[in-house]
Amino acid sequence: MNAMQNKISKERFNILCMKALDNEFNSDNEILEFQEYIKKIPEFKIEYEEFKRIKELTKKMNLRSPNDDIWKVYRMKIMNRIERSIAWIIFLAGCAIILAFGGYKAIEALLNNTRIDLILKIGIIATLSGGLFLLLSVIKEKITLWKSDPYKGIEK
């Protein structure tokens, strides 16, 4: 048997082995084919027996339920995260409103000031607008990088 046939044979055995473990053969031919593999190739028989033992062990296993203290701590952590997230959102919304209103009033006062030339007014507004857009761009980039940082939880 060449390497390709061995690979196909091994893949076919794996499929039949899983069907045997789960008792899901589709036909008598599959059962006979599986039995032939077990008779002719000792390694396959050993592998099947190991899988049977693993299946029996996993059936006997019981998962422990976490005690009430663990659930309390878990709930508290979740509540703290939610509370802090909501608090940050409200705080930042308030800051945005104050800054927007202050900016609006500053621009309004600048435009209404008759002692400042129009070109200087345009220059001040352009500088402030460009700075604001630059700041927002940097904040957006930092947030994007922070979300995808693979070393976020690693301490130095």
In this structure, is residue 105 part of a structural domain?
no
Q: What is the pLDDT of residues 100-119, one digit of tens each?
A: 999 899 889 988 988 888 88
Domain final position from 44, 60, 76: 60
Among 1-5, 6-10, 24-28, 56-60, the least confident range: 1-5
Residue 102 in any domain: the answer is no
Is 47 a member of any domain?
yes
In a domain, 88, yes or no: no
Among residues 43, 60, 77, the one where a domain terminates is 60
Domain span holding position 40: 3-60
Model pTM above 0.85? no
Question: Structurally, how many domains does the chain consist of?
Answer: 2
As given in the structure block, the two tokens for residue 121 are 């007014």
CA dihedral sign, ordered 9, 15, 20, 21: positive
Distance CA 3, CA 10 (A): 10
Q: For 45-78, write each residue's pLDDT tens digit.
A: 999 999 999 989 888 888 778 788 887 787 788 8
Q: Residue 11 domain-assigned?
A: yes
Residue 13 falls inside a structural domain: yes
Question: What is the token pair recorded at 150?
Answer: 């693979």
